């Protein structure tokens, strides 16, 4: 599959078939006005923090701001740290209820990432931590500036895909995708405004 950057203008859901995984994209799940209000509320009401990770023997700051929310006990470990959830906010619960109708899953946690500009990014990774179980469903809500979302197959190097995640959109990743694919949000030199990405998950164990 050649890299491509499709633009989805039609409302509703778009099934994107991938080898060893599934993507379902809703480009306009939230209206422009609703997405604007949610973006403003989340920027103002979340206690954003810049976390760090251990890399090559030293602490390195993540190139974005983060916050972890969820049900009591839905702790999550990645990049060498365990994160304990803040309680749900009313805005996050509203979004959660909206996307659960499309995903057919009851989520118990969400990772909020704030990209302040085009230099904030997310490197290649898969959401395949043990807490997520086999074939996890990940629902990704995007508010603010559009960003490129790139995927690559872990073993078949010719299998790649990318799309532009739009303001007010929902992307659902499911099936075996996290076991066979990696994804990233690369840096860009384009002047961009703020973006918030919310990835809703199901943590399979309690702490």
SS (H, E, C) 144-175: ECCEEEEEEECCCCCCEEEEEECCCEEEEEEC
Residue 102's closest CA among 190, 193, 171, 202?
171
The pLDDT value recorded for residue 89 is 98
Which structural domains are found in the chain, ordered by start? Answer: 14-201 (2.60.120.590)
The pLDDT value recorded for residue 6 is 64
The yes-or-no verdict on residue 1 having pLDDT over 60 is: no
What are residue 156's phi and psi, to 5 degrees? -105, 95
CB burial of residue 111 (10 Å; 0-12, 13-18, 19+): buried
Above pLDDT 90, what percent of the chain? 82
The pLDDT value recorded for residue 156 is 96
Range 184-202 average pLDDT: 97
Range 128-134 average pLDDT: 93
Predicted TM-score of the model (pTM): 0.91
- Buried b / exposed e across 123-146, counting CB within 10 Å, b at 16+? eeebbbbebbeeebbbbbbbbbbb
The pLDDT value recorded for residue 55 is 67
What are residue 69's phi and psi, to 5 degrees? -125, 155
Range 164-181 average pLDDT: 97
Asked if 11 contacts 154 with a C-beta cutoff of 8 angstroms, the reply is: no
Considering the chain, what is the average pLDDT of its residues? 92
Q: How confident is the model at residue 206 (pLDDT cuts 50, 70, 90)?
A: very low
**Could you give the CA distance from residue 69 to residue 75 in angstroms, rounded to a whole number?**
9
The pLDDT value recorded for residue 12 is 85
The pLDDT value recorded for residue 61 is 87
The yes-or-no verdict on residue 202 having pLDDT over 70 is: yes
Q: How confident is the model at residue 178 (pLDDT cuts 50, 70, 90)?
A: very high
Give the relative orientation of helices 32-45 and 90-103 as an angle to the nearest 10 degrees. 130
Q: Which residues contact 44 (CB under 8 A, 6 or more apart)?
A: none
Per-residue pLDDT tens over the stretch 83-123:
899 999 999 999 999 999 999 999 999 999 999 999 999 99
Helices (H) and strands (E) in the chain, counts: 3, 15
The yes-or-no verdict on residue 3 having pLDDT over 50 is: no
The pLDDT value recorded for residue 17 is 87
């Amino acid at each position: 599959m050649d890299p491509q950057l499709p633009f989805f203008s039609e409302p509703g859901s778009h099934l994107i078939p991938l080898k060893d995984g599934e993507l379902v994209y809703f480009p306009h799940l939230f209206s422009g006005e609703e997405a604007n209000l949610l973006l403003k509320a989340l920027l103002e009401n979340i206690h954003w923090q810049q976390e760090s990770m251990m890399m090559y023997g030293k602490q390195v700051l993540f190139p974005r701001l983060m916050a972890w929310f969820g049900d009591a006990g839905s702790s999550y470990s990645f990049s060498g740290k365990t994160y304990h959830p803040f309680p749900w906010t009313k805005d996050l619960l509203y979004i959660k209820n909206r996307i659960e109708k499309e995903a057919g899953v009851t989520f118990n946690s969400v990772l909020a990432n704030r990209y302040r500009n085009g230099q904030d990014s997310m490197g290649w990774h898969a959401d395949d931590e043990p807490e997520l179980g086999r074939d996890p469903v990940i629902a990704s809500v995007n508010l603010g500036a559009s960003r490129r979302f790139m995927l690559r197959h872990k073993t078949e190097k010719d299998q790649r895909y990318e799309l532009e995640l739009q303001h007010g959109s929902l992307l659902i990743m499911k099936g075996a995708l996290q076991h066979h694919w990696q994804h990233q949000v690369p840096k860009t030199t384009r002047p961009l405004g703020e973006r918030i990405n919310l990835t809703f998950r199901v943590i399979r164990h309690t702490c």
